[in-house]
Structure 1
Amino acid sequence: MSGASETSTRLCEHEGCELPGKFRAPKAPDVLDEYKWFCKDHVREYNLKWNFFQGQTEAELNAQATKDKVWERETKDFRDPEARAWARLGIEDPHQVLGNNATRNPGKQGVGTRRLPPTERRAIEILDARDNWSKADVRKSYKALIKVLHPDMNGGDRSQEDQLQEVVWAWDQIKESRNFK
């Protein structure tokens, strides 16, 4: 389709042109339903010079581009009423009510990924280790804790003896475990 109006009886509105004006072009950006009529060559020339945004500021141009994204329809807030109710309480995400546990996967125990018996899981926590560590890595953590807690290493202070016993128990659990290589 060429855009030509085959039934047009007008002459081209370009100065000095005697050809039939079968192609229409808007007169101005603010008057889009009134047209000038041109021949094929002159409508091309007119369209090359046409600038819809001529005379507008950059802010007006950006506002028009924003409106064009949604076909000049006003958008509305699609959040459900429950989300708006949470927002009134100052909570953007309903999961915030649950605190840090809101996004924690209940299928995974602790921070690890391995399925361990409860005694080994407790031992890992006591030793400040991770379940994906090797036995050698857990042993390094065990040795570091022993150096801090043992009375011979901290000037004879026996106040941490209970914690020391827990650390020794935890290492015994891991040492005998088949879950750590």
Structure 2
Amino acid sequence: MMQRPKRHRAYAPDPNAPGRTCDMPGCPEAGEYRAPKSRRNLSEYFWFCLEHVRAYNSSWDFYKGMSAAEVEAQLRADTSWQRPSWPLGHLGAGAAWDEDMLRDPLHILAAGRANGTRHVETERPPAELREPLATLGLSWPTTMDVVKMRYKELAKRHHPDANGGSRDAEERLKTINVAYAAVRSKLGSETRVAAGG
């Protein structure tokens, strides 16, 4: 029958004890049990004998002297293992996204935004698309599906037949057609590059 390896018992002397006498003044016993010196520095220890470490532990109160706000802050820090945290969707204080990290040639992030998901703008549109996007009333990044839907909506609204043959509506529709063609050609070329074609 195989024997289990012996485990270090919680009440057994610390195997890493420095081999010195108890830190309690006047005690000649060996200091085999460690206890933290303060809550500010939990890696510095007193070394006590068993009797004195029990007395020290019974009077130890980590939160002693802390205000209610400090206790609350400590408990919150403990829930994230003393690591910094911030609300989902935000970065740490003063941090900024690396734009190269957020390139989205397949417009996956824009598709999420189009479905109603909150999305932080990460890119500025290319210079040649700023005016066409403004004409169409779209923000960047966008997808071809969104552009088509917007174009159809604007074409119906500004078609001369829907506006009693108005010359202003006809000119506006021409501007919308030029803007749509510019955005369509740019998005089409990016999609072909992303797909490897």
Same fold by TM-score greater than 0.5? no
**TM-score, structure 1 length as denominator?**
0.41
